[in-house]
Every structure is written in structure tokens, then in C-alpha cells.
Amino acid sequence: MIKRVAITTLMTILSAAAGSVSAQDKVLNLYSSRHYQTDEALYTNFTKQTGIKISRIEAGEDALLERMKNEGDKSPADVLLTVDAGRLWRAEQMGLLQPIKSEMLLTRIDPSLRHPEGYWFSFSIRARPIFYNKASANRGDIQSYEDLASPKLKGKVCSRSGAHMYNLSLMSSMIATVGPLKAEEWGRGVVANFARAPKGGDTDQIKAVAAGECTVAIANSYYYARLANSTKAEDRDVADKVGVVFPNQKDRGTHVNISGAGVAKFAPNKAAAIKFLEYLASDEAQRYFANGNNEYPVVGKPDNPALKALGDFKRDPLNVGMFGKNQGAAQQIMDRVGWK
């Protein structure tokens, strides 16, 4: 009788434990620095497909990393979702992520768009092309990033701050491609060609080109696609006045950055976290990235009209993790050349 009670008690404990694991897997704690309303469809459809509810903490990248660091092994974070490979690299270096194994992610995501040991994966691509004023620019003068430092573009270049992650990652890619000395020489040439001091965001650079304040600028592709797809006539007018060049098509290809995610080191719902990352690589989620926020999918081609209108381009195959590794050197170069 005692033995039967003991067995019954043990079965009850095991059943309760299994139930708690099952209940735990029905929740995903997402720390996200993506601030796009269109991502709501991503989260809603993930919950519909899996039954896993998403609880979100949204903040700036630096604030999220600091929060995870301070929370330590008590952190409820399951997934960190952010933009720019440089930030994912920083999170991994801070010990905030853990490597995972997923055949689905390894199969669908190109090696250049993920951490080699599985600490993070890319789920959308942002190209960083050159935008030019159709009325005033000589298209032949704008074939590569190197051309931005040409004396032909003296007083004609607009840019946002050199301290911004997007430009730091571009400089990091230049360091990896041409070496630090030539990268610094390039940065100095670009600064010498500024039409005005760096200010504003990427959309501001495109608008400045359309207004004739400068002739060329660098900006992420999805900012242009937003203008082209806008319901506002004035935004579409800006897009109509601006042409797009995907630089370096005859050699290394155009610099791209990413939006991506990794599983938090102390994720209490690891199984749910991996399911979420796998969902982000699904055909359905990839369409949301392309159509919702005008980003290029990491799997397949976009069916977004504005992106399709830009045509295919060759992207730089450099592993995006290099943007983080070269980040410190890139910032030093930006400081030295005065790209403020």
C-alpha cells in the first residue's frame, strides 16, 4: 500500500512538472528594439500558429542590452530582436545570447547572414545604396562607394552622423574590404565632399537630395521604399525625383545590413524561442518583413512593388558579423576624419 501511494505521488509530481513545462512553453518573452507597427502581424500570426503568447519589452538597443546585463540569470528575456549586425555582435560579446542548433535556420539562412556558431540569425536585409538627384547628378560619376570621395562630388554629398550604427557598419565593411588605411582615406574624402554638416536620419538625406540641397546621399533602401509606397503625394514626389544606385556591382557588391535575433542566454522558454526564430525564417514571416517594412527578405525575392522596381542587385558577401568586430576601429576613423 505504501509502495502504491509512493508511485501515485511520483506520477502526480511528474505530471505536474510536465504540465508546468507545457504551460511555460506557451509564453515567449521578447525584448525588441524594432519599433514598426507592421510587426504586429508577425506576432499575431506566430501566436495563431503555435498558441504561444508573446510578451514584449520594447526599448532602444542600448537600453535593452543594459537591462539584460543587469537582470543577469534572472532575466525573463527569451529572444533579443534588434536591427544592425553590430548590435547583435555587441550582445553576443556581452554574454547575453546563447548558441542554438536548428537545421531549418541553417538551411534557409545564408552563412554570411548568421553567426557561425548560432548565436544570432538575420531575418531581413537592408541595402545601403547611393541616392542621387535625377535632374542634377551625372549618373556615370556614381558607380561605387569609393566615388563618394571623388573630387567630382565636391560639396555634393549628404549624410547622417558618422556615429550612427548604419554608417559605422558601412565603415566597418570598408575596413574589412580595403584595409584601415584606405578606409580612412575614403572617409576623409567623403567628409571633404559634404554639402552640409551631417544631420537628420536616412529619410532626411533622401529628401535633401530631392530638394537639391545635395546631389547624392547614402541611406538604407527601406526608407526610399516607404516614400515610394506612401499614400502621401509629397512623399511619392520625393521618390520620383531621386534615382538609386546599387554601388560596386562590378566588384564586391553593395553593402547590406540586417535585422536579426538571438536566443537570450538565460531564456526560460528556450523551446518557444527557437520556434519563434524558425517562424521568422518562414515564407509567411519573410513576406511580412518585405511588405510590412519594405525590407528585403533573407529567403527568396520580395514581392513588394517598390523593392521590385529597384531591380536585382549583387550584395557584398562579407559576413555581417564583421561589422561588429570592426566597430571600434570604424568609430576611431570617423572621429579622426571629422565625420561627426
- Here the CATH number for the domain that contains residue 171 is 3.40.190.10
Q: Domain containing 55: what range?
A: 2-126+257-302
What local confidence, expressed as pLDDT, does residue 16 receive? Answer: 39
The number of folded domains in the chain is 2
CB neighbours of 152 closer than 8 A, spacing ≥ 6?
138, 141
**Structural domain includes residue 144:** yes
Whole-angstrom distance, CA of residue 209 vs CA of residue 227: 13
Phi-psi region of 339 (alpha: psi -120 to 50; beta: other; left: phi over 0): beta
Kindly indicate the confidence band of residue 25, based on its pLDDT and cuts at 50, 70 and 90.
low
What local confidence, expressed as pLDDT, does residue 326 receive? Answer: 96
**Structural domain includes residue 310:** no
What local confidence, expressed as pLDDT, does residue 300 receive? Answer: 92
**Structural domain includes residue 213:** yes
Kindly provide the b/e burial profile for residues 234-264, where b requires at least 16 CB atoms within 10 angstroms of the residue's own CB: ebeebbebbbbbbbbeeebbbbbbbbbbbbb
**Structural domain includes residue 307:** no
Per-residue pLDDT for 18 more than 50? no
Note whether 82 and 227 are same-domain residues: no
What local confidence, expressed as pLDDT, does residue 11 receive? Answer: 38
**Structural domain includes residue 139:** yes
229 compared with 15, residue with greater pLDDT: 229
Note whether 138 and 245 are same-domain residues: yes
**Structural domain includes residue 308:** no
**Structural domain includes residue 230:** yes
Whole-angstrom distance, CA of residue 243 vs CA of residue 284: 30
Note whether 115 and 34 are same-domain residues: yes
Note whether 227 and 141 are same-domain residues: yes
Kindly indicate the confidence band of residue 12, based on its pLDDT and cuts at 50, 70 and 90.
very low
Note whether 56 and 150 are same-domain residues: no
Note whether 240 and 265 are same-domain residues: no
Pairing outcome for strands 27-32 and 79-83: parallel
What local confidence, expressed as pLDDT, does residue 167 receive? Answer: 97
Whole-angstrom distance, CA of residue 250 vs CA of residue 90: 32
